[in-house]
Amino acid sequence: MSSAQAFSGKVSDQHKRVSVKSNPGFLERLGETAGGTVIGVGVFFLSIYVLFTNEGRALQTASSLDEGLSQVVSLGPYSSFDPQNNNRLVHLSARLRTSQPLYDPNYKVVVQAVKLKRQVEMYQWVEYQESRDYQENGETKTETTYTYNTEWKSELVNSRNFDQEIGHQNPSAMAVESVTVVAPEVQVGPFLLSKGLVEQINNFQTLSLRDFPVFNLDPFLSIYDDYFYHTQHPRRPEVGDVRVKFSFAGLSGETSYLGQAQTVSIVAMQRGEQLMPFKTKSGDTLEILYLEELTAEEVFEREHQSNSMKTWGLRAAGWALMFLSIQLTMRIIYTLVDWVPVLREIVSVGLKIFALCVSCSLSLLVIGAGWLFYRPLVALALGALALLPVFLARSGLPAKKDE
């Protein structure tokens, strides 16, 4: 091993393997294309479902947010429990509080936070494959290059599936497991947070080990670059060595070297001394948490923006599925002419242009049908507005003829 490899802790080697595969006949290629056509039909109906139902979901979410904003009651950061707000939608901005710190006994890590994550990595062999096809003596050959590197991986890599396991064997299990510990009770102001609200606290930050007391360490551990290493030589790891990193989310204690407690903004239903999901008449559930101080209006504005982004994202995904489905369905035409090189290229480009045009038109048509189904009044109003210039132009024609 070179000095550069020793310092970086990374080793690699590679070998190549060549395999020969027979060229598929016309009927075999036609059969594969027919299977793709069946899949394309399924993907086509899936795209219609995504595009159509997305419009209803977007409308329902927007209506639920408007309903919530009209009913929400804003509480002050130091407000006490008020029974009059029971079963009502409330808004609150305050700091997180937990009853006790989170503790990892194996590494003696203590953090006053909502979540403490222990991420374990093992130094293992990893196999990479790169293949290329080429023609030789009338046969199609595949040359596969297998490259083996040693890397830190958070999941077990099964070396039994390697093309060349000898010299690249990994352990079958990790000495330590990754785990995330969550505080049993999380409070904001006088209220306990529901499980759904706690799940939204995911602003994980790496726990710095610069000032960690070394005298508390077990003798088989060492600290380097914010990791606990199960080796005394962290710069020269060997396969099977383990390292552990800690991160936390939602600081909840008094001001410490990690910083102040996290301020959150919540919109949820008050039920007793708990904040719970709120069911709107429109059909959605409101249980919102942001990791910053926001007014009720700002919270709902953020939710409307998120709904809009999700709507356009699903529209784009629906169009992509439809484009793919049309390509798969029309692939059989390409297979019928792929034995003529010039014609094959022309048909390939033509099919892509056809799929692009048809998918765009059909996507707009399905979205329009969704609007007509979920928002008939808005769709009719837009249709009337679109036809207004035609009516105005037609109404001006008799006057010009009279002149």
What is the per-residue DSSP string for 14-54? EEEEEEEEPPP-HHHHHHHHHHHHHHHHHHHHHHHHHHHHH
Same domain, 209 and 338: no
Residue 55 has pLDDT above 60, yes or no: yes
Whether the Cβ atoms of residue 236 and residue 177 lie closer than 8 Å to each other: no
Same domain, 129 and 185: yes
Q: Measured between alpha carbons, how far is 268 from 290 in angstroms, rounded to an integer?
A: 12
Amino acid at the residue 318: G
Phi, psi (deg, nearest 5) at residue 279: -90, 120
Segment 56-84, tens digit of pLDDT = 999 999 999 999 999 999 987 777 778 88
* Average of per-residue pLDDT across 149-158: 94
Same domain, 62 and 128: no
Residue 53 has pLDDT above 60, yes or no: yes
Q: Does residue 309 sit within a domain?
A: yes
Out of 180-189, 190-199, 306-315, 357-366, least confident range: 357-366
Vertex 400 angle, CA 396 and 401, to 5°: 120
| Coil/strand/helix, residue 116 | strand
Same domain, 222 and 143: yes
pTM of the model: 0.79
Identify the bridge partners of residue 128 per DSSP, sorted by sequence position. 147
Any alpha helices (H) in 286-375, and if so which ranges? 296-337, 341-374
Out of 20-29, 41-50, 247-256, 303-312, least confident range: 20-29
Q: Does residue 206 sit within a domain?
A: yes
Please indicate whether residue 267 or residue 362 has the higher confidence score (pLDDT).
Answer: 267
For residue 10, the model assigns a pLDDT of: 59
Hunting for tokens 């194996």 — which residue is that?
A: 106
Q: Does residue 8 sit within a domain?
A: no
The residue out of 272, 306, 333 marking a domain boundary is 272
Identify the bridge partners of residue 249 per DSSP, sorted by sequence position. 115
Q: Measured between alpha carbons, how far is 59 from 62 in angstroms, rounded to an integer?
A: 5
Same domain, 61 and 172: no
Same domain, 96 and 32: no
The residue out of 241, 272, 303 marking a domain boundary is 272
Vertex 67 angle, CA 62 and 72, to 5°: 125
Instruction: Give me the DSSP letters along 67-94.
Output: HHHHH-EEE-TTPPP-GGGTTEEEEEEE
Whether the Cβ atoms of residue 283 and residue 62 lie closer than 8 Å to each other: no
The number of folded domains in the chain is: 2
User: Between the ranges 4-18, 108-122, 137-151, where is the mean pLDDT highest?
Assistant: 108-122
Same domain, 66 and 86: no
Segment 330-360, tens digit of pLDDT = 776 666 656 556 666 776 777 788 888 888 8
Q: Does residue 53 sit within a domain?
A: yes
Band of the pLDDT at 256, cuts 50, 70, 90?
confident
Q: Does residue 118 sit within a domain?
A: yes
Same domain, 206 and 244: yes
Q: Does residue 60 sit within a domain?
A: yes
Same domain, 112 and 252: yes
For residue 362, the model assigns a pLDDT of: 87
Hunting for tokens 């007391």 — which residue is that?
A: 213
Same domain, 50 and 89: no
Closest CA to 225 of 137, 378, 311, 121: 121
Radius of gyration of the chain (CA): 31
Q: Does residue 47 sit within a domain?
A: yes
Q: Measured between alpha carbons, how far is 270 from 189 in angstroms, rounded to an integer?
A: 12
Q: What is the dihedral of CA 327, 331, 333, 336, to 10 degrees?
A: 160
Q: What is the dihedral of CA 296, 297, 302, 305, to 10 degrees?
A: 150
Same domain, 67 and 164: no
Same domain, 255 and 152: yes
Instruction: Please give the mean pLDDT across all residues of the chain.
Output: 84
**DSSP state at residue 166:** T
Closest CA to 278 of 299, 262, 292: 299
Neighbour-count burial for 179-207, b at 16+ CB within 10 Å, e otherwise: eebbbeebbbbebbbbeebbebbebbeeb
Q: Does residue 147 sit within a domain?
A: yes
Whether the Cβ atoms of residue 85 and residue 72 lie closer than 8 Å to each other: no
Q: Measured between alpha carbons, how far is 172 from 159 in angstroms, rounded to an integer?
A: 9
Out of 5-9, 43-47, 131-135, 340-344, least confident range: 5-9
- Which residue range(s) make up the domain with 328? 27-72+294-395
